[in-house]
A and B are shown apart, each in its own frame.
Chain A
């Protein structure tokens, strides 16, 4: 009897310790960017583009990278949704449960999930050469879409697997086609999970530097054209950290803070959306 209680206490201890490690890591990271970044934080950072000599410590901001990152990751997320939804719906509504193609697809996506982002950057670059594109917003969108596609599609796939088969049957029994069932029943039932898959993929995409370094390039101007280079926050952080000037390095931390706040805001926004759309979910 006593040994079972000790066992319980040990496992409790391990779980608490693990939770504390994770929690303290995130607190430490947040504290670091807050302490180092706040002194350099000002309105100019988020309202101005880099002026001449910005990287030497002169005035300016990183609005170019904020706009660039949002456009690029937003675009990549959209592209990825249009790739991921059909894959997840095919695997869960159309294909046989025992389909070898689907099993193979799932394994491939899991492998792709683990491929380092620099490889997606290089692969995206190859595609760009093939299409005759130079470093541009479009190039970055392609590379980041490829990077986040496995994450998004597997996330959607997992939530759609949880949709009860009987729910699909009740739709079929009314004479609905598979397409109608997929769009009107499966997507609605899985919507909260689909939204969080999109959010996780967006968060992964907006923070990635390696996939955009060759493909999106960098620009000190705000650019809305798909075919011009676009600045991104991770690269802005990278360039500013790489300078020998402490005040510019501080701005790198301020940029990191901005990036974190963007992810945080989107996370809160999607949580509100998820709550709103989960009221119809059948348990």
Chain B
């Protein structure tokens, strides 16, 4: 287990001002699987996710202790290059936020930033990743239209393609289906199933059924503490902790 883990969290504490949001988290995130972070609202799910790509840095008054090792390097080390850390992580947020540019430019944005200039190469990248997000057929004739004209479900797949285009190792998904209709949600879930062989996917969700049908590994947080983690069947069939059992049964929320 240790050797295949790309993300290792060691004694991670996160404070927002006086609020101790994550309490001494230590965990290995398994490689090439879907890991679901579950727990009631305000338990620190999103905070943990955003620690992985250091988006947490952009929050005012945040203080972090402990380590997050990605491929063996501590990303909170002052010498770490934050843009390279983030390049390894594709992010899918609760609501899709396409960039204010065309569909094509949205997908090409990441590769361009990281130095790809040739138009031909960019065209290939855009087509390839739009296909991966299964959006290509719907947009192939209007690549240069504004991304804002797509439906919400299409926008979320565009954001997926955009994230994949920087060729990350991980996909971080923060309740990626919460703003979507059932059909679009299903689309995203199916993409995740296809992508799990190539990427380590970390999914924050408050939908237990989604965690159960999608995830291989479950991380349960409660009030900033890591209560329990393990393979999906173990957690859902046979939780060791009382609070996990209560949360899964819907007693606590």
Contact = CB atoms under 8 A, between A and B. Distances in A.
Interface of A: 96-98, 164-177, 180, 184-185, 188-189, 279-283
B6 interface: no
20 contacts: A167-B99, A169-B55, A169-B93, A170-B91, A170-B162, A172-B55, A173-B55, A173-B89, A174-B87, A174-B91, A174-B163, A175-B86, A175-B87, A175-B113, A175-B114, A176-B109, A185-B100, A279-B148, A281-B148, A283-B148
A171 B99 contact: yes
A279 B146 contact: yes
Contact of B100 (A169, A173, A280): A280
B166 interface: yes
The interface residues of chain A, by DSSP majority, are classed as helix
B148 A282 contact: yes
A167 B113 contact: no
Given A167-B99, A177-B83, 9 more contacts: A167-B100, A170-B93, A173-B86, A174-B163, A175-B86, A184-B109, A185-B99, A280-B148, A282-B147
A177 B58 CA distance: 12
Contacts of B109: 171, 174, 176, 184
Given A98-B60, A166-B93, A172 B102 contact: no
10 residue pairs, one from A and one from B, having the closest CB atoms: A175-B87, A173-B91, A174-B110, A189-B100, A175-B83, A175-B86, A280-B100, A188-B100, A170-B97, A280-B146
A177 to B, nearest CB: 6
The interface residues of chain B, by DSSP majority, are classed as mixed
A175 B101 CA distance: 18
A172 B109 CA distance: 11
B243 interface: no
A227 to B, nearest CB: 42
B43 to A, nearest CB: 21
A282 B99 contact: yes
Interface of B: 53, 55, 58, 60-61, 83-84, 86-87, 89-91, 93, 95, 97-102, 109-110, 113-114, 146-148, 159, 162-163, 166, 172
A169 B58 contact: yes
A170 B176 CA distance: 13
Nearest to A166: B97
A173 B53 contact: yes
Contacts of A177: 83
B60 A174 contact: no
A279 to B, nearest CB: 5
A175 B97 contact: no
A174 B86 contact: yes
Contacts of B99: 167, 170-171, 184-185, 188, 282
A139 B93 CA distance: 51
B163 A173 contact: yes
A176 B91 CA distance: 13
Contacts of B172: 173
Nearest to B145: A279
Given A98-B60, A169-B58, A175-B110, A282 B87 contact: no
Contacts of B61: 98
A281 B101 CA distance: 8
A188 B166 CA distance: 21
A89 to B, nearest CB: 15
A280 B103 CA distance: 10
A282 B91 CA distance: 18
A175 B60 contact: no
Given A96-B60, A175-B166, A166 B83 contact: no
A188 B102 CA distance: 11
B153 to A, nearest CB: 16
Nearest to A175: B87
